[in-house]
Chain A
Amino acid sequence: MNIPRPSLAVYLMANEDAPALAEAAVRGGATVIELGIPYSDPLADGTTIQRAAQAALDAGITPERALELLAEINDRVDVPLVPMTYGAIVESYGLEDFCRDAAKAGAEALIVADIPPEESGPLRDAAAAEGVDLIHLVAPTSRPERIESAAAASTGFVYLVAAVGVTGARENLDPRVAELLELTRGAAGDTPILGGFGVSTRAHVEGLIAAGTDGAIVGSAAIDAIERGGAEALEELVRDLAAGLPS
Chain B
Amino acid sequence: MLKKNRIASFVDDRDGQFRVDRSIYLDDELFNAEMEFLFEGGWVYLAHESQIREPGDYFSTRIGRQPVFVVRKRDGGIAGHINACAHRGATLVPFEQGRANAFVCRFHGWSFNHDGRCIKIKGEETGAYPDGDPKERYPLTPIARLESYRGFIFASLKAEVPPLKEWLGPAHTWIDLLADQAPQGLEVVRGASTYTVLGNWKLQAENGADGYHVSTVHGVFAKTVANRQEKNKIDGMGKTEAGRMTGNVNSGSYHFGNGHLGVWAQHTTPQVRPSWRQKDRLDKEFAPERVEWMLNRGRNLFLFPNVFIMDNPSSQIRTLNPIAPGICEVTVRCVAPVGEAPDARAARMRKFEDFYLTSGMATSDDLAALEAVHTGGGARAARWNDFSRGMTAIRHGSEDADGAGIGLVPDLMTSNWDHEALYHGFYRVWKERLLAGAAA
A and B pair up:
no
Write the residues of chain A forming the contact surface with B, with a CB cutoff of 8 angstroms.
none
Write the residues of chain B forming the contact surface with A, with a CB cutoff of 8 angstroms.
none
